[in-house]
């Protein structure tokens, strides 16, 4: 949802915060995913129980573009710098499935939210990370205009809250 073009017909959107302009919007985070390493299954990293973030220093990276999420991109890059390296991003992609497909093809490794594991892309193995700061998470939020919210919208929001609390 492009918040700059808020249409009166849009009741609710799912976004990845933070958002620059939140005037008139209620924003509620409904899930926070820790990052894991997505690596090609034929990589020596694939069989490990856990790897340190710094272990990825020499790898090529597939990553989402800065413009897609400047704040999150910056926090992930800062975590890598804290771990002693700047990721060598050789390929960017906007869609998670594309990122995982590029990892599967051997184009590099990536840092992805834990929830991406449900996509089950053949050739991609996921390895938990150590050394990733606790506050670096992939957040999903709902955004809506509370002023004039109809009953159907408030019911939907409550349903999402209940579903999110069970995950």
Q: Which residues contact 74 (CB under 8 A, 6 or more apart)?
A: 66
Confidence category of residue 8, pLDDT binned at 50, 70, 90: low
Enter the tokens of residue 72.
């999150």
Enter the tokens of residue 44.
């020596």
For the chain, which residues make up each domain, given as ranges? 35-137
Rounded to the nearest angstrom, the gap between the alpha carbon of residue 82 and the centroid of all alpha carbons in its chain is 19
pLDDT at 9 over 80: no
Tell me the C-alpha distance between 93 and 76, whole Å: 16
Q: What is the pLDDT of residues 34-93, one digit of tens each?
A: 999 999 999 999 989 999 999 999 999 999 999 888 888 888 999 999 999 999 999 999
**Which parts of 41-123 are beta strand (E)?**
51-52, 60-63, 88-92, 110-113
Alpha helices in 36-150 (DSSP H): 70-82, 96-104
Would you say domain 35-137 falls under CATH 3.40.190.10?
A: yes
Instruction: Please answer whether residues 130 and 51 qualify as being in contact, where contact means their C-beta atoms are separated by less than 8 angstroms.
Output: yes
Tell me the C-alpha distance between 86 and 10, whole Å: 39
How far is residue 117 from each of residues 93, 110, 147, measured CA to CA in Å? Answer: 17, 12, 37
Q: Mean pLDDT, to the nearest integer, of 132-146?
A: 89
Phi-psi region of 28 (alpha: psi -120 to 50; beta: other; left: phi over 0): beta
What is the reported pTM? 0.81
Enter the tokens of residue 4.
């700059």
């Amino acid at each position: 949802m492009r918040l700059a073009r808020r249409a009166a017909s849009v009741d609710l959107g799912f976004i990845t915060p933070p958002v620059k302009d939140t005037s008139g919007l209620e924003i509620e985070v409904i899930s926070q995913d820790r990052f894991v390493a997505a690596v090609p299954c034929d990589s020596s990293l694939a069989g490990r129980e856990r790897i340190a973030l710094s272990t990825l220093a020499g790898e090529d990276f597939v990553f989402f573009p800065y413009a897609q999420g400047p704040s999150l991109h910056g926090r992930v890059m800062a975590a890598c710098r804290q771990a002693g390296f700047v990721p060598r991003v050789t390929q960017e992609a906007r869609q998670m499935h594309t990122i995982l497909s590029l990892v599967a093809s051997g184009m590099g490794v990536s840092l992805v939210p834990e929830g991406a594991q449900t996509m089950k892309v053949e050739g991609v193995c996921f390895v938990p990370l150590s050394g990733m700061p606790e506050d670096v998470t992939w957040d999903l939020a709902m955004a809506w205009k509370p002023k004039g919210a109809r009953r159907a919208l408030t019911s939907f929001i409550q349903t999402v809250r209940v579903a999110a609390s069970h995950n």
